[in-house]
Amino acid sequence: MKKSKLMPIIILVLVVVLAGAYFVGSKGNKSSEESTDQSSANGKIPKVGVLQYVSHPALDEIYRGIKAGLKKSGYEDGKTVDIELLNGQADQSKLATMSQQLISDDSDVLIVIATPAAQALANETKSVPIVLGAITDPVSAGLVKSNKKPGGNITGVSDKSPVAAQMDLATKILPDAKKMGILYSSAEDNSDYQAKQVKKAAEEKGLTVALYAVPSANEITQMVQVMANEVDFIYIPTDNTIANAMQTVVEVANKTNTPIIPSVDTMVEQGGLATVGINQYKLGVKTGQMTADILKGKSKPATTPVYTFDSGDVIVNEKQAEKLGITIPEDVLKEAKIVGE
């Protein structure tokens, strides 16, 4: 009798002790990484808001890379992360409203593609983490205090061009060229910075340099016509306004056989002659991975240095070279990725 009365109590005590041990154990097993995971804290999948400045092949490629980088790090769109992409179509007032929308949608982390989008979004929040996707120079754009120690809610990836290598290549391919013209938009801080950098690099190579800044996309055709008469070749920085109108630029420049040395692979594919450029997709992948680290609580923007790619790949558009009657030296071709065959 005594035994059978005690049994249920003993079993109950055992169950409680075991359940308690299991609970504590499972909590203890969680790594510190998971415990600060912004997503699992409330049981929802995390939300990433993306603001893209405009559509052109380079920025679209960066976005594709961002999604791949996030997926590689465990965040697959629609399954383990909710990605919301808004495209400002180069319209300042749209960028401002879209920034507000992304913030009111409670994004856990925000991503910006291109400088004007970054500046619009940075204006709206000092607390939600922002990851920069391919921003030429975050410091001169007023986004971070320094690339090493950003200090605020912003970090990310810079696509600063390897301008010295680009000028090496330009002078190798166009040995008779004396004057280079830089075509860019005066409204983009990223281009203003790069124009200054490449001017210095070109002058060190013995070239004369002139700046041709357009106030908007409307003046591009006329400006390229002027340049075609005044320069031996056209250089284009990572300028969104020009990248968006690349087809027009190539058409106009081709009329006078004026070569174009752009700053990225995608612009060579669009009809530029050649460059040493950073792979746009890879820029996106890195941006996605940095975003994942912030989502996991592994890093914080204030103390995460801006990542800079310091080398690029040589890329040559063979069809353009033929059209312009330019023979690309063998040693350049050997290491180059060839497009437009």
The residues binding ligand TRP (CB under 6 A) are: 58, 114-115, 134-136, 159, 190, 238-240, 243, 264, 280
Nearer to ligand TRP, 122 or 296 (CB): 122
- What does the DSSP assignment read for 88-103? -TT-HHHHHHHHHHHH
Nearer to ligand TRP, 39 or 191 (CB): 191
Do the beta carbons of residue 159 and residue 211 sit within 8 Å? no
- What does the DSSP assignment read for 303-324? GSPPEE----EEEEEHHHHHHH
> CB of residue 272 vs ligand TRP: minimum separation in angstroms?
11
- Tokens 């109590």 found at: 9
> CB of residue 262 vs ligand TRP: minimum separation in angstroms?
8
- Distance (Å, rounded) from C-alpha 89 to C-alpha 91? 5
> CB of residue 164 vs ligand TRP: minimum separation in angstroms?
18
> CB of residue 191 vs ligand TRP: minimum separation in angstroms?
8
Nearer to ligand TRP, 58 or 276 (CB): 58
> CB of residue 48 vs ligand TRP: minimum separation in angstroms?
19
Q: Which residues contact 246 (CB under 8 A, 6 or more apart)?
A: 56, 262, 267, 270, 271, 272
> CB of residue 16 vs ligand TRP: minimum separation in angstroms?
60
Query: What 3-state DSSP class applies to 286?
Result: helix
> CB of residue 321 vs ligand TRP: minimum separation in angstroms?
21
Strand ranges in the chain using DSSP code E only, listed in sequence order: 47-52, 82-87, 109-113, 130-133, 154-158, 179-185, 208-214, 233-236, 260-262, 274-277, 307-308, 313-317, 337-339
Do the beta carbons of residue 261 and residue 166 sit within 8 Å? yes
- Strand-pair partners of 157: 307
Nearer to ligand TRP, 129 or 284 (CB): 284
Tell me which residue has its CB nearest to ligand TRP. 58
Nearer to ligand TRP, 108 or 124 (CB): 124
- The residue among 278, 243, 301 whose CA lies nearest residue 108 is 301
Nearer to ligand TRP, 108 or 249 (CB): 249
Interhelix angle 280-295/57-72, nearest 10 degrees: 40
In degrees and rounded to multiples of 5, residue 304 shows phi and psi of -105, 115
> CB of residue 316 vs ligand TRP: minimum separation in angstroms?
18
